[in-house]
Every structure is written in structure tokens, then in C-alpha cells.
Amino acid sequence: MDIGRFFIDFKKPSQFYYAGSGGIEAYRVRKDKVEPVAVFGDVSLFDLDTSRFAQLLEQTGNAPHIGIILNSGHFIFNILEFQRLPFRESLRKDLVEWKVKKLFPEEMDQYEHHFFQLNKSRILSVLLKRDLISRIENIFNGTGRSLVYLGNSTVEIINTVFRRKGAPDFFLEIDRHLSIVVFQSQAVPYYIRKFRVETKEDVLEELSKTLTYVANSYGEKPVTYSLVSNLDETSLGEIRGELTARQLAEITLPKRESLFLPV
Amino acid sequence: MKRIRYNIAPDRKIRVGRLVFLVAVMWVLTLLFFAIGLGQISSKKRQGRVEENELAVLEEKLSDVSEMAEDYQKKIGQLKKGWSKKIAFSNSMIRQKGFSFYDILNTLEERLLPDMFFSSLTVSSDSGAWINANVIATSFRKMAEFYDKFSPDNLVINKESLQSNRMVNASLSIKLPDEKN
């Protein structure tokens, strides 16, 4: 157990904003229940300035502490396997960064890197460009509110979906043209893939390729899945139909917003 | 899988109340365990003192018993001494009662050769005692043959002399084996 994390817990805000491909969605959390407040379609968080963002905040509530959940568009995920992980935190950090540098072509100094131990030998590495974080901080400065939570939707969905009983073998998060599929075995993710496609047929094609890759590389044959998406029901229905035809069974999840908000 | 706590917000706020509460709980538990430990130690000490007292009483009783045992041993020793003397006397009486003068005299007579005789003989009923005898023989050779008959026994020739009548006179001390005892 991480003693530090046991003692130090961070305040969760009562107001969240999901910055997705389709715009900004505002939510309020009251007594562990998520209430949608507003949707600002086709507005990108990174295109806003402080005054416009302040207006948006005024329209959706007056909570002093705000949380932002970003979709996975700007994130780079890697699941790394090690034969043995050192016990000391500093050594583990060096080892993980060394391995990420081998996989990652760009300069790591430009990225904020965080890693999380999933089990004895597996690490989830998350990279996000530092200038995006600075941009978000700049947007908040002057609004009179504090940004106390800045997280990622896929990571929160992993927390919510894979840690429950009867978790699906994989979930597919679709946010307009951005899709992320995460596979798990024994409640631990082992493969994550992000792709951008225009149509649902492309989604299915990419998913099919991914399932083949997982079967060949990991020897796993997933049979259950879940969908986390804000697509319309018709599109989702078609996707479901295709997946059922491939003998995959769906495990229905609660409302989408309760999955990616850290309630 | 542990929850992945991913929050990179610059203004993350620690839940101070929770932290204080947890620290307070840790302190209370520590003090509680400390108090329980102290209680255990003092109760063990108390128990130790009680046991020490009991031990002292038992040691006292043990020393009394040891003294009594010593007294009894002394008394037994004295009784034994007294009885040993009586037993030794009784054994000696029994031995002397069972002593056979007849056997001794018979043995001496059997060993005596012709032309020899005892001029005097002293026999004691004490089985460890010597027989003092004066023996007269016609010659030294006869006397020597007589001595040979006592070669397995204890024979002391006190004096040997030739008398005026050419008889050999020997003063002997003989110790025959105690066949009965």
C-alpha cells in the first residue's frame, strides 16, 4: 500500500467539465450523484480564452473548485511489461522512463509523464504535452476559481469498469471520431489502442484488426465488451449488431458520465 | 488492481480534514496500544510480585522441611548406631553359639601324626582367634610333616626346642579357616 496516498487524498470538486471531441459538457456532483448541467457543443477547451471560459463557468454554476476531464485525444498511453520492478520508487521511475524513451520518438522533456503500477510486472504510462497543461492553467487564471482536478476519461473508465465484478474483457470508448479500446485480463489492463476514424464501419474495421492483433500477440480471445459513447442510439445499435454477429456479448454499463467522472 | 489516481491539476487541494482525522486516529491507536502495553507490563509485574511472595513462602516451607529432614536423618543415624551395636552383638552371640569346639579339636587330632601329642591347647570361641598349642614330637622331621599339614592355614611357629629327653617341643599359633562363618 502506498502510505502517502493512504493519508493524502485530494478534494474532489463538485463541478466537472468534460472536454471532448464534441464540445464541453458540464456536470454537477451532488451526494455522489452526477447531474448533467449543460453541453457546449463544438467548443474546444483549448480554443477558449480566459473571459470566454469564465462566462462558461458562470453559466454552469458557481462552485469555487472545478474539475476538468479531458478525452484521450491528446494523451499517449503505453502499457509496459517488465520481468521485475524495483521496489524503490526512484529506481522504478528511472526504469520506466528508460523504457518509454525507447518507444517514444519525441523529446520526453516536452511531456508530463506519469506512470502507474497495474500489477507486479505491468505499468501504465501516460504522457501529455506540458504546453496543453499550461494552456489550461492560463485559461483558469483570472476566473476566480481553482482547478483542483485535471484527469483523463479513459483512465477513469478503467478505474470504474475494470474494478467491478463481472467486468467486460474490453471496452470501447467512442468520442465522435476518437476511439479508444482497452483490454483487460483479471481486472488488469494489458493492451490499449487509440484510433481516429470517420465512420462506424471504420470503427468496426479497426476494432476487428485490434481483436486479431490481441489474439495473435496475447493469446486472448475476448468474449464480452462494453460501449462508452455519446453517439446516437442508431449508430450504437449498428455497432452492437456487428459485434454480436462476431459472437461478442455486451455488458451494459451505467450512464456514461458516471464512468469517467471520479465520483 | 489498485485505483489509478491520475490528477495533474496544479491546484490540487489536500483533504486536510481527512488527513487530520487519519493522523488523529493513528495517534489514538498508538496511545491505546501503548496504554495496553503498559497495562500488560504492570499486570505482569504485579503477577511477578505475587509469584515472588508465593515463592518466598514455599522456600520458607522448604527450608523447614529440610531442617526436619536433617533432624530425622540424625535421629535415624543415632538409632542405626544403637541398633548396629545390638545387631553386631547379636551376630557375635549367634556366631559364638554356633562355634564348634568339637570340629576344631577333631581337625587338630586328624592332622596330628603318630608319635606326636599336644601338651597344651588353648581354643577360643572367637572365630577370628588363634589356637595356641604346645606340640611334642619325636623328631624334627615329624614336626616338619606336621607343619606341612597346616600349609593352607595360618601357622606361626613361636618356639621350637629340643628337650633333654630328645623330644621336640614346639609352641605354635594356628588359625584355622572359619568354615561355618
Task: Report chain A residues whose CB lies below 8 A from the CB of B12.
Answer: 10-11, 148-149
Do B7 and A146 count as a contact with CB atoms less than 8 A apart? no
Nearest-CB residue to B1 (from A11, A118, A126): A118
Note the pLDDT of residue B125.
Answer: 72
Nearest-CB residue to B13 (from A148, A159, A188): A148
| Residue A9 touches chain B, beta carbons under 8 Å | yes
| Residue A6 touches chain B, beta carbons under 8 Å | yes
Min Cα–Cα distance to chain B from A102, Å: 23
In angstroms, how far apart are the furthest CA atoms of chain B? 155
Note the pLDDT of residue A236.
Answer: 87
Going by pLDDT thresholds of 50, 70 and 90, the confidence category of residue A154 is very high
Is residue A241 packed enough to be buried (19+ CB in 10 Å), middle (13-18) or exposed (0-12)?
A: exposed
Helix (H, G, I), strand (E, B) or coil at A202: helix
Task: Indicate the helix (H) or strand (E) that contains A209.
Answer: helix A200-218
Task: Report chain B residues whose CB lies below 8 A from the CB of A114.
Answer: 6, 8
Per DSSP, the residues of A36-87 read EEEEEET--GGG--HHHHHHHHHHH---SEEEEEE-GGGEEEEEEE-S---S
Min Cα–Cα distance to chain A from B27, Å: 13
| Residue A128 touches chain B, beta carbons under 8 Å | yes
Considering only CA atoms, which of A157, A153, A165 is closest in space to residue A71?
A153
Task: Report chain B residues whose CB lies below 8 A from the CB of A263.
Answer: none
Q: Which residues of chain B have pLDDT under 50?
A: 181
pLDDT tens digit sequence for A160-203: 999 888 899 999 999 988 999 999 999 999 999 999 988 888 99
| Residue A158 touches chain B, beta carbons under 8 Å | yes
* Beta pairing, strands A15-20 & A23-30: antiparallel
The position carrying cell 522533456 is: A109
Task: Report chain B residues whose CB lies below 8 A from the CB of A158.
Answer: 4
Do B7 and A151 count as a contact with CB atoms less than 8 A apart? yes
Using CA atoms, how far apart are residues A156 and A173, in angstroms rounded to an integer? 11
Closest CA in chain B for residue A123: B4
Helix (H, G, I), strand (E, B) or coil at A236: helix
Min Cα–Cα distance to chain B from A132, Å: 12
pLDDT tens digit sequence for A225-237: 999 988 888 888 8
Residue A129, C-beta contacts closer than 8 angstroms, at least 6 positions apart? A74, A110, A111, A112
Helix (H, G, I), strand (E, B) or coil at B156: strand
Going by pLDDT thresholds of 50, 70 and 90, the confidence category of residue A216 is very high
Note the pLDDT of residue B74.
Answer: 93
Nearest-CB residue to A8 (from B1, B2, B14): B14
Going by pLDDT thresholds of 50, 70 and 90, the confidence category of residue A18 is very high
The position carrying cell 548396629 is: B84
Note the pLDDT of residue B93.
Answer: 82
Min Cα–Cα distance to chain A from B29, Å: 15
Grid coordinates representing A214? 490481441
Using CA atoms, how far apart are residues A18 and A258, in angstroms rounded to an integer? 12
Task: Report chain B residues whose CB lies below 8 A from the CB of A115.
Answer: none
| Residue A87 touches chain B, beta carbons under 8 Å | no
Do A5 and B5 count as a contact with CB atoms less than 8 A apart? yes
The answer to whether the pTM exceeds 0.95 is no
ipTM above 0.95, yes or no: no
Using CA atoms, how far apart are residues B181 and B175, in angstroms rounded to an integer? 14
Do B8 and A119 count as a contact with CB atoms less than 8 A apart? no
Going by pLDDT thresholds of 50, 70 and 90, the confidence category of residue A8 is low
Question: Which residues, numbered 1 to 30 in chain B, qualify as contacts with chain A under a Cβ-Cβ cut-off of 8 Å?
Answer: 1-15, 18-19, 22-23
| A-B contacts at Cβ under 8 angstroms | 72
Query: Looking at the predicted structure, is the pLDDT value of residue A1 above 50?
Result: no
A172 pairs with which residues across the strands? A181, A227
Contact B24, B31 (CB under 8 A): no
Min Cα–Cα distance to chain A from B24, Å: 11
Average pLDDT rounded to a whole number, residues A135-158: 89
Rg, chain B, Cα only: 50
Min Cα–Cα distance to chain B from A115, Å: 9
Residue B24, C-beta contacts closer than 8 angstroms, at least 6 positions apart? none
Using CA atoms, how far apart are residues A172 and A182, in angstroms rounded to an integer? 7
Query: Looking at the predicted structure, is the pLDDT value of residue A87 above 60?
Result: yes
